[in-house]
Chain A
Amino acid sequence: MNLQDQLQWISDSATFLSPELILLFGIIALLISGLILKKEGTIIFHLLAFLSIGASALVVVIDWPENPVRLFNGMIRFDDFSSYLKILIDLGGLLTIVLTRNRIQKKKAEYFLLLVTVILGAHWLVMSMNFVMVLLSLEMISLSSYVLAGFGFDKKGAEGSLKYFLFGSVATAVMIFGMSLLYGMSGTLDFSTNKFVSALLEQKSPLVLIGGLMTLSGFLFKIVAAPLHVWAADVYESAPTPVVAFLSVVPKLAGFGVLIKFTLAINLFGQSTYNWPTIIGTISMLSLTIGNFSALWQNNPKRMMAYSSIAQSGFLLIGLTSLSISGVHAMLFYMAIYLIMNFLTFLIIQQFELDHNTLSIPSLAGLGRKFPFQSTAMGVGLISLVGFPITAGFTAKFFLFSSLWEAFSQAGKPILIVLFVFGLVNMVVSLYYYLKMPYYLFLKEPPSEKTFLVNTPLWENLLSAFLVVLLLVLFFQPDLLMGWINRINFVL
């Protein structure tokens, strides 16, 4: 391919990338305005970030892809699967900006800039079909997240951020090593090509397994799945709440986007000598157990949500274990619901944290009677995380487990039924700690009559009401979302 053709490729491809270009312009605008505007307390950065992410989401919806298109010489693919995830990622970004309120006082411009950069990286990651592209976009997310995690500018935040960075770099290093092994054996960096599959099929060496597992570890780090979860609790505890909400959703969704593709590729269309569904199923069970059982002992709301995030990844991996189209659809549904319920919960956690300084779960005692609306909203979010009717969390889990059952009735692998029962029993365990916050809110008496200052903005209450309604509506009418997801034609 000569230079002219390559340039042609690039200019042709660029037309498909208007959402990403908008984000890029947003980043540049934030950078410049941050240099010019020195005044603290200005709202312009909020607006810039909000507008660029919002516009990008809008363009994703308008430019809905009919057929998958390979861009940049096969580096990325523009398809409905990635567009769907991009919308979720953008929504996550928008909700984070709302959550940020005036929490961040120092270095506002940098904060929003990093936020939009993570979003941009996530956009790239869900489109990537090539190891190099995966690595680049993953690092784009990671490097920005490390800084975001330390945005409390205190000792604890710095510690959390450093831990995040150290674990992250090791995970990335391991991933690069795995990728290079796979590249060495297959001779291609594009993991969706036939060449990748056929070359690995011929390889009898266990290095395929090792390379696959090592590559997987980079993704597991991003989605906070065991055994690469150890960083989560400290980072979640020390980072500012909006950042925690952001980190618990956006990088995770992006990580799942690429993990789904990679797992289908490394499974070699079911012909692999290694049993990848079992491997994924084991990771799922491990995440469920570690996440749920560690969450039981937590007394800090954000720390508890960190372990909850690990367990939720375990649930999401159930959809991947079935390695079927309905499994992927169930995951996509679950991701949307997860986005809603997680942000709802963090929204209220932050409100209580700001208004009443509730840094531990017992300090929530008695707030439920004073603030029935917020407490009920939090209750709905948590009940939905358990997967209890009448919230969409139930529907999402129902679809996941149905896909697993379907896979079992087709393949009959014992691991599937083990995971099925295991996952469901874990729902009971999770009930115990998810109920802890409503328990203190409603059932416990406040220690003494304290006076409560309330300065929750009205629009934030409206937002939480909207999210609650969304969770209920998607329970009664899941076809609103599922009908759309079912049209997503996922092929590798």
Chain B
Amino acid sequence: MQHLLSYLIFLPIIAGLLALLIPSAYQKTFRLLALSVSFVQLLLLLLIARSYSPISSSSQLIEKTSWITLELGSWGLFKAEYFVGLDGLSFIMVLLSVVILFIAVLSSWTTTKSAKGYFILLLILNGAVIGSFCAKDLLLFYLFFEFMLLPMYFLIGIWGGPRREYASIKFFLYTLLGSILILVVIIGLYSSVKEPGPSVQVVHTFNMEYMKDSGNYISGSVLNYSEPWIIGAWSARLWAFLFLFIGFAIKLPMVPLHTWLPDAHVEAPTAISVVLAALLLKIGGYGLARLAYPVFPDGAVYFSWFVGLMGLISIIYGALNALASKDLKRLIAYSSVSHMGFVLLGLASMTIEGISGAIYQMFSHGILSAMLFLLAGVIYDRTHDRLIENYSGLSSVMKSYTAFIIIAFFASMGLPGFSGFIAEVMIFFGAFKSHSVNALLPEWMAVTATLGLILGAAYYLWTIQRMFFGPLSVKVPGDLHDLDNREYAMLIPLAFVAVVFGIFPQPLLDIINPFANELAGIVSRFVNVH
């Protein structure tokens, strides 16, 4: 099995394109097609897991073929490759994506409004998400990264709630602004980095592995390590880090660049909320760990205090907003902002614990936010209303639903025994330790961040109390039946994963560790510079 990753990426895209040929009258074939594609992807993932060895930090299952090679005269050669591979970070993210996308298809099972378009867009989104987690060539990464936006725009814009048009255009504009900032850095990197080798001609490469090595920078180029250009207050390399940071932070999202998220989440259909929260937000964190930190470790060190602070602000501000939210989905959306703040804090600490914790948090939040949005979707499905104040005493009519809500809420607030606890504890360790190891983050940041946990407990418990306990009263009409089989099929695996990786974190940590070690190593070389 040579091209496992390519199969994984292109299977959904090709299936989506072929589905164009099926007449839209066969409504049910599309969901079956999407489900079978996701199922085959799960099988492929098993094959990948079998041949993946977690010990090494370098990429595995590499596929590399030339894609665009352009002779640019005296300036050299423009070289972009189709280069995909898996390392610890990618593997975790691909694992998460395949699982979540499978559940997303299940969750869209009842979609009837132009099912053809919906499932085709979902399949294309599927390929783009997995592709961006696997790409090791910067241009390829950017291609997948951007290509996620279009299907998402239409998925929110056509199948969303009442204010879907506003939400979808806002989502698109914000994320495009982010991608433009990233594009600036891509152009800078591509013209500053050359392929190592004996060749006389300068080969301008997009290979991300080469970009990590300071020896591959053309001397005198704008982004070179030894004498970077000074533009305004900072060197070009610091600007580049800042641009990447803002670009990915919009996606993450970080306060104050988060305002697109609550709108997009509230308006998106359930399955799309799930994909958005569980996968698209992760691309932000992934991009930071994949590109911004290893390629600009000097910038990462220089801005670590700022990054940590922004993470802290996101944690607290997101939690406070969640506390004030009247809409259940909005509450979960803000809790996402708060939880993704932990990712920033962990990365900013640049300790092995912090980085591992950040990646663990991305995985854990992927699973938990998917669960939370599915649960919010269940109640919306019953009554077409999500306002918390309209419900009370639901536990007496929807018993299993209440049970799953409690599991998801407790897991999400970081109770021991669930994956969220492991992630957040590691991030706190990393953030505390940072002061003594590399002196990047002051201790008060870690201390203050624990407030996020307390607030988290507050908004979750308060919601449980308001919606599920007390006398039964539902102010909106609707049939409040308990979970059906399809909903069980989506929720049980997620709850299972959240518990298993809360008790046995080791398998995941084994995969993450080589990557975290390497990243911490790269960054630590620059710690004493400043």
**At the interface, yes or no: B221 with Cβ under 8 Å from chain A?**
yes
| Number of B positions contacting A (CB below 8 A) | 42
In the complex, the answer to whether A478 meets B70 with C-beta atoms within 8 Å is: yes
**At the interface, yes or no: B169 with Cβ under 8 Å from chain A?**
yes
* B71, B164, B192: the one within 8 Å of A483 (CB): B71
In the complex, the answer to whether B172 meets A435 with C-beta atoms within 8 Å is: yes
Q: A427-B176, A431-B172 are in contact. Are A443 and B157 (CB under 8 A)?
A: yes
In the complex, the answer to whether B70 meets A482 with C-beta atoms within 8 Å is: yes
**At the interface, yes or no: A467 with Cβ under 8 Å from chain B?**
no
* B117, B147, B191, B222: the one within 8 Å of A390 (CB): B147
In the complex, the answer to whether A420 meets B184 with C-beta atoms within 8 Å is: yes
* A383, A442, A477: the one within 8 Å of B68 (CB): A477
In the complex, the answer to whether A325 meets B180 with C-beta atoms within 8 Å is: no
In the complex, the answer to whether A479 meets B70 with C-beta atoms within 8 Å is: yes
A409-447, CB < 8 A from B: 409, 412, 417, 420-421, 424-425, 427-428, 431-432, 435, 439, 442-444
In the complex, the answer to whether A389 meets B157 with C-beta atoms within 8 Å is: no
In the complex, the answer to whether B177 meets A428 with C-beta atoms within 8 Å is: yes
In the complex, the answer to whether A428 meets B168 with C-beta atoms within 8 Å is: no
- Bound Cα distance A369, B154 (Å): 13
B77-125, CB < 8 A from A: 114, 117
* B71, B143, B158, B183: the one within 8 Å of A486 (CB): B71
Chain A window 391-412, contacts with chain B (Cβ cutoff 8 Å), 1 for yes, 0 for no: 0001000100110011011001
- Bound Cα distance A425, B180 (Å): 7
A442 vs chain B, min Cβ distance (A) = 6
Q: A408-B222, A409-B191, A482-B70 are in contact. Are A428 and B180 (CB under 8 A)?
A: yes
In the complex, the answer to whether A405 meets B191 with C-beta atoms within 8 Å is: yes
**Across-interface contacts of A479 in B (CB, < 8 A):** 68-70
B140 vs chain A, min Cβ distance (A) = 10
A483 vs chain B, min Cβ distance (A) = 7
- Bound Cα distance A425, B183 (Å): 11
**At the interface, yes or no: B451 with Cβ under 8 Å from chain A?**
no
B165-198, CB < 8 A from A: 165, 168-169, 172-173, 176-177, 180-181, 183-184, 187-188, 190-192
- Bound Cα distance A336, B296 (Å): 36
The DSSP consensus for interface residues of chain B is: helix
- Bound Cα distance A401, B231 (Å): 18
In the complex, the answer to whether B173 meets A431 with C-beta atoms within 8 Å is: yes
Q: A402-B187, A402-B191 are in contact. Are A389 and B142 (CB under 8 A)?
A: yes
In the complex, the answer to whether B176 meets A428 with C-beta atoms within 8 Å is: yes
**At the interface, yes or no: B482 with Cβ under 8 Å from chain A?**
no
In the complex, the answer to whether A405 meets B173 with C-beta atoms within 8 Å is: no
- Bound Cα distance A427, B69 (Å): 26
B122 vs chain A, min Cβ distance (A) = 16
- Bound Cα distance A427, B181 (Å): 11
A338 vs chain B, min Cβ distance (A) = 19
**Across-interface contacts of A428 in B (CB, < 8 A):** 173, 176-177, 180
**Across-interface contacts of B147 in A (CB, < 8 A):** 389-390
In the complex, the answer to whether A417 meets B75 with C-beta atoms within 8 Å is: no
- Bound Cα distance A372, B184 (Å): 34
**Across-interface contacts of A476 in B (CB, < 8 A):** 67-68
**Across-interface contacts of B73 in A (CB, < 8 A):** 325-326, 486
Chain B window 216-230, contacts with chain A (Cβ cutoff 8 Å), 1 for yes, 0 for no: 000011100000010
**At the interface, yes or no: A388 with Cβ under 8 Å from chain B?**
yes
**At the interface, yes or no: B47 with Cβ under 8 Å from chain A?**
no
In the complex, the answer to whether B165 meets A486 with C-beta atoms within 8 Å is: no
**Across-interface contacts of A424 in B (CB, < 8 A):** 180-181, 183-184
* B67, B158, B222: the one within 8 Å of A405 (CB): B222
Q: A398-B187, A401-B187, A431-B176 are in contact. Are A439 and B72 (CB under 8 A)?
A: no
**Across-interface contacts of B188 in A (CB, < 8 A):** 405
In the complex, the answer to whether A406 meets B150 with C-beta atoms within 8 Å is: no
A471-492, CB < 8 A from B: 476-479, 482-483, 486
* B72, B142, B168, B229: the one within 8 Å of A412 (CB): B229
**Across-interface contacts of B487 in A (CB, < 8 A):** none
**At the interface, yes or no: B146 with Cβ under 8 Å from chain A?**
yes
Q: A326-B75, A427-B180, A486-B72 are in contact. Are A388 and B146 (CB under 8 A)?
A: yes
* A369, A372, A432: the one within 8 Å of B169 (CB): A432
- Bound Cα distance A390, B75 (Å): 26
B296-345, CB < 8 A from A: none
Q: Name the residue of chain B whose CB is nearest to the CB of A325.
A: B73
Chain A window 289-332, contacts with chain B (Cβ cutoff 8 Å), 1 for yes, 0 for no: 00000000000000000000000000000000000011000000
**Across-interface contacts of A405 in B (CB, < 8 A):** 187-188, 191, 222
Q: A390-B143, A479-B69 are in contact. Are A383 and B191 (CB under 8 A)?
A: no
**Across-interface contacts of B146 in A (CB, < 8 A):** 388-389, 394
- Bound Cα distance A80, B72 (Å): 17
A380 vs chain B, min Cβ distance (A) = 10
B47-78, CB < 8 A from A: 67-73, 75
In the complex, the answer to whether B191 meets A439 with C-beta atoms within 8 Å is: no
- Bound Cα distance A402, B78 (Å): 11
In the complex, the answer to whether A442 meets B169 with C-beta atoms within 8 Å is: no
Q: A420-B184, A431-B176, A486-B72 are in contact. Are A406 and B191 (CB under 8 A)?
A: yes
In the complex, the answer to whether A389 meets B177 with C-beta atoms within 8 Å is: no
**Across-interface contacts of A372 in B (CB, < 8 A):** 117
- Bound Cα distance A408, B221 (Å): 10
* B72, B158, B183, B221: the one within 8 Å of A443 (CB): B158
In the complex, the answer to whether A439 meets B222 with C-beta atoms within 8 Å is: no
- Bound Cα distance A444, B169 (Å): 13
A204 vs chain B, min Cβ distance (A) = 33
**Across-interface contacts of A444 in B (CB, < 8 A):** 165
- Bound Cα distance A412, B222 (Å): 9
B239 vs chain A, min Cβ distance (A) = 10
- Bound Cα distance A406, B76 (Å): 12
- Bound Cα distance A326, B74 (Å): 10
* A421, A442, A483: the one within 8 Å of B154 (CB): A442
Chain B window 143-163, contacts with chain A (Cβ cutoff 8 Å), 1 for yes, 0 for no: 100110110011001100000
In the complex, the answer to whether A439 meets B231 with C-beta atoms within 8 Å is: no
**Across-interface contacts of B143 in A (CB, < 8 A):** 389-390
A182 vs chain B, min Cβ distance (A) = 31
In the complex, the answer to whether A409 meets B221 with C-beta atoms within 8 Å is: yes
- Bound Cα distance A390, B457 (Å): 44
B119 vs chain A, min Cβ distance (A) = 15
A267 vs chain B, min Cβ distance (A) = 20
**Across-interface contacts of B75 in A (CB, < 8 A):** 326, 406
**Across-interface contacts of A402 in B (CB, < 8 A):** 187, 190-191
B171 vs chain A, min Cβ distance (A) = 12
- Bound Cα distance A428, B181 (Å): 10
B504 vs chain A, min Cβ distance (A) = 40
- Bound Cα distance A326, B75 (Å): 9
Q: A442-B157, A477-B68, A478-B70 are in contact. Are A432 and B184 (CB under 8 A)?
A: no
**Across-interface contacts of A409 in B (CB, < 8 A):** 191-192, 220-222, 229
**Across-interface contacts of A431 in B (CB, < 8 A):** 172-173, 176
- Bound Cα distance A326, B72 (Å): 8
- Bound Cα distance A369, B117 (Å): 10
- Bound Cα distance A479, B190 (Å): 17
* B158, B177, B187, B220: the one within 8 Å of A442 (CB): B158
- Bound Cα distance A388, B70 (Å): 20
Q: Name the residue of chain B whose CB is nearest to the CB of A482.
A: B70
- Bound Cα distance A402, B183 (Å): 10
Besides A369-B114, A439-B157, 9 other A-B contacts (C-beta < 8 A): A388-B146, A388-B150, A389-B146, A402-B190, A424-B183, A428-B180, A431-B172, A479-B70, A486-B73
Q: Can you give 29 A-B contacts (C-beta < 8 A)?
A: A325-B73, A326-B72, A369-B114, A383-B150, A388-B146, A388-B176, A389-B143, A390-B147, A405-B187, A405-B188, A409-B191, A409-B221, A409-B229, A412-B229, A421-B184, A427-B180, A428-B173, A428-B176, A439-B157, A442-B154, A442-B158, A443-B154, A443-B168, A477-B68, A479-B69, A482-B70, A483-B70, A486-B70, A486-B73
Q: Which 3 A-B pairs have the closest CB atoms?
A: A443-B157, A424-B180, A409-B222
